[in-house]
Amino acid sequence: MCELLGMSANVPTDICFSFSGLRARGGRTGPHKDGWGMAMYRDGDVWTIHDPRPSADSDIAEVISHNSLKCDIVISHIRQANVGGVCLLNTHPFSRLLWGKTWSYAHNGQLEDVSALPIERHHPLGSTDSERAFCWIIEQLQARLGEDEPSLDDISTVLSELALQLKGRGVFNMMLSDGARLYCFCTTKLHWITRRAPFKKATLSDEDVIIDFKEVTTDKDVVTVIATQPLTQDEMWSQMEEGELCVFEGGEVVCQIKAN
Amino acid sequence: MCELLGMSANVPTDICFSFSGLRARGGRTGPHKDGWGMAMYRDGDVWTIHDPRPSADSDIAEVISHNSLKCDIVISHIRQANVGGVCLLNTHPFSRLLWGKTWSYAHNGQLEDVSALPIERHHPLGSTDSERAFCWIIEQLQARLGEDEPSLDDISTVLSELALQLKGRGVFNMMLSDGARLYCFCTTKLHWITRRAPFKKATLSDEDVIIDFKEVTTDKDVVTVIATQPLTQDEMWSQMEEGELCVFEGGEVVCQIKAN
């Protein structure tokens, strides 16, 4: 399996603290040693890092966890390979163009028989079930919603249907973003926390690191962090339900669709 | 147009000094403001950074230029967009799998009518002439040389033929690597320098930075840097010839094929 980390904030915020926790699970406190990657959005631009080495040993992961790169949205992924060898092109997050924006996506879980998902325009570069499912999602969104960017409600409704179909093939925990919103779908495990004033201290579960968010925020900041497993040991994280789609924008929940 | 930067070394070496020079040309001392990217190889692994923002303004470019990430081979590219919008998926270097290795590629120049180049298995993700030409190169190498990795001579001979065909469509300066060797082809502009003992001081042309290579090397180090334009003002760079393919391994030239 793998672990996911996402962030949505109303002011550009770095992911150093949370990524330090996630990174440790990539070969040291956890078994997810088959690469890691990150998509970082700011002002609609996205930049990416892909590294098939264990995040716990990676020199560039070390650099990223100690340098404040301010983002509106982040998707990060540490991989424990099931389907597809350990190589750059199998390293999440994957990116494709849709409605004039670059969409990034990462997946945790395993899906059966993804080759049965029809794709025509968007081909995978690597050999993972995850990327194949992503190509299908992008094609389906375009086919069902047209060539112009639809409303949040329309995207969320269709995305929820697609995600439930994929859930029928196995475990489908995923994060998807266009730079404005962060769409998260849960099959088994996704937890989230929204931090806002009054900010407090927090202690990582995987690293001997404490942060006092009061010192790095203003009263107006709203920052939501989403992760496979809670990353801190002294905060209350919410658990997403099975089959739930939750959409974040500017750190706030803007849409929630539950399966039942 | 764009600018290219490559490195081949016999010991893991960082690209900080050279990248500081290149980076300035991405929006400050040069017009190549439409993104930048880097593929870094070490021990056969490759990791990548892609950022469609100007390298001169990019916070992650700043971080990379000041943190020593040791590599055997580097390919970096700063872009001035001609064909294809400014977005992540049009940002070099591009990567594809061939003979069990991840090949990375960056291109400087413009090619006419690349849609006439037949491709079947490897599809571009973005809309640049550069990536389309890369997909064709990968397919041609595989079609002509088979499924198992061929010899240096065989790869170089076919690659030289392919590059000369592309040169017939415009300007084709390019760098290509599988992590073991760095293949460089010149149509108009590529310069290179090999640094070895006795090491000296060098001064960047684009930044107020001097390095004393004696202080950061041992007597056994051999480091070759290849760039569109010389990056230093007090060293003698060699200029590659029109139509020349030059292959570097461990900092040394291991193959050279000239057009005439």
Q: What is the ipTM of this complex?
A: 0.95
- CATH code of the domain occupying B3-257: 3.60.20.10
Query: What whole-number distance in Å separates Cα of residue B2 and Cα of residue B105?
Result: 13
Amino acid B11: pLDDT: 97
pLDDT exceeding 90 applies to what percent of chain B?
A: 89
| Residues A51 and A36: beta-carbon distance below 8 Å | yes
Kindly report the nearest CA distance between residue A52 and chain B, in angstroms.
Answer: 7
Average pLDDT over residues B170-185: 98
Question: pLDDT-derived band of residue A259, with 50, 70 and 90 as boundaries?
Answer: confident
Chain B residues with CB under 8 Å of a chain A CB are 40, 45-53, 58-60, 63-64, 67, 69-70, 87-89, 95-97, 102, 123, 125-126
**pLDDT, tens digit, 9 for 90 and up, residues A146-158:** 999 999 999 999 9
Amino acid A208: pLDDT: 86
Beta bridge partners of B42: B45
SS3 content of chain B, % helix, strand, coil (to 5): 25, 35, 40
Question: pLDDT-derived band of residue A162, with 50, 70 and 90 as boundaries?
Answer: very high
Question: pLDDT-derived band of residue A83, with 50, 70 and 90 as boundaries?
Answer: confident
Kindly report the nearest CA distance between residue B253 and chain A, in angstroms.
Answer: 27
CB contact under 8 A, A63 and B67: yes
Amino acid B82: pLDDT: 85
**pLDDT, tens digit, 9 for 90 and up, residues B191-208:** 999 999 999 999 999 888
Amino acid B142: pLDDT: 97
- B49 CB neighbours in chain A (<8 A) are 47-49, 60
Query: What whole-number distance in Å separates Cα of residue A178 and Cα of residue A182?
Result: 7
CB contact under 8 A, B60 and A50: no
CB contact under 8 A, A102 and B89: yes
**Domain ranges in chain A?**
2-257
> What is the gyration radius of the CA atoms in chain A, in angstroms?
17
**Given a cut of 90, is residue A27 above it in pLDDT?**
no
Task: Please indicate whether residue A2 is annotated as part of the active site.
Answer: yes
Smallest Cβ distance to B97: which of A49, A67, A87? A87
Amino acid B259: pLDDT: 84
Encoded tokens for B74: 């580097």
Question: pLDDT-derived band of residue A129, with 50, 70 and 90 as boundaries?
Answer: very high
**Given a cut of 90, is residue B8 above it in pLDDT?**
yes
Query: What whole-number distance in Å separates Cα of residue B154 and Cα of residue B162?
Result: 12
- A48 CB neighbours in chain B (<8 A) are 48-51, 88
The SS3 assignment for B158 reads helix
Tell me what the pLDDT averaged over chain A comes to: 95
**Residue pairs spanning A and B at CB distance below 8 A:** 80
Average pLDDT over residues B51-61: 94
- A63 CB neighbours in chain B (<8 A) are 63-64, 67, 69
Question: pLDDT-derived band of residue A240, with 50, 70 and 90 as boundaries?
Answer: very high
Residue of B nearest to A103 (CA): B88
**pLDDT, tens digit, 9 for 90 and up, residues B111-158:** 999 999 999 999 999 999 999 999 999 999 999 999 999 999 999 999
**Given a cut of 90, is residue A92 above it in pLDDT?**
yes
Average pLDDT over residues A90-106: 97
**Was domain A2-257 assigned CATH 3.40.50.2000?**
no
Kindly report the nearest CA distance between residue A50 and chain B, in angstroms.
Answer: 5
DSSP chain A: -EEEEEEEEEEEE--HHHHHHHHHTBTTSSB--S-EEEEEEETTEEEEEEE-S-TTT-HHHHHHHHS---EEEEEEEEE--SSS-SSGGGPSPEEEEETTEEEEEEEES-BS-GGGS--SS---SS--HHHHHHHHHHHHHHHHH-SS---HHHHHHHHHHHHHHHHTTB--EEEEE-SS-EEEEESS--EEEEE-SSP-EEEBSSSS-EEEGGGG--TT--EEEEESS-SBSSS-PEEPPTTEEEEEETTEEEEEE---
Amino acid B254: pLDDT: 98
**Given a cut of 90, is residue A130 above it in pLDDT?**
yes
Average pLDDT over residues B23-49: 93
Average pLDDT over residues B24-35: 90
CB contact under 8 A, A48 and B53: no
